[in-house]
Amino acid sequence: MEKQTPQEDDEIHPDFWMYRPCGVYLDEFVECTSWKARYHQRYVDGKEADCSKWKKDHENCIAFRDKKSYEALESLLASEKERRAKRLEGAKGNTVWEYRTSPPENWAAPLPPHLQKIPINLQPGSSSCVIS
């Protein structure tokens, strides 16, 4: 699929940002069905995981990429939303952390004097990590 501009992505679908390259879904399927993954799944969960969603997502991705099937894109994005909701469920369901509604009042405070003395090289392509 040809790289699109952000405006074109929004015209395709408002949740198009969730669309991943098709190889990602194939890699996830291959990893999910590998013997190491199966061993880990049986050890942790007591049963093997259902990897068919990764295969179906890969097929939908190919269908959208090659045939511009918007039904396949809808199915793929619905699967991504479901996967994202399941991943965030644990974080949002705990009572340990208190989520912020705004940044702390001093989040943009100046650096302490000892850190202001350190030169920061922000040239493109340069690294601030120097090993001598």
Tell me the domain boundaries of the chain.
Answer: 6-87
Got the DSSP string for the chain? -----HHHHHHH-TTGGG---HHHHHHHHHHHHSHHHHHHHHHHHSS----HHHHHHHHHHHHHHHH--HHHHHHHHHHHHHHHHHHHHHHHH-SS----SS--TTTTPPPPHHHHTS-----TT--S----
pLDDT tens per residue across span 9-33: 567 888 888 889 999 999 999 999 9
pLDDT at 6: 46
Please state whether the predicted TM-score (pTM) of the whole model is above 0.75: no
pLDDT at 99: 82
pLDDT at 96: 85
pLDDT at 1: 47
Low-confidence ranges of the chain (pLDDT < 50): 1-2, 5-6
pLDDT at 9: 55
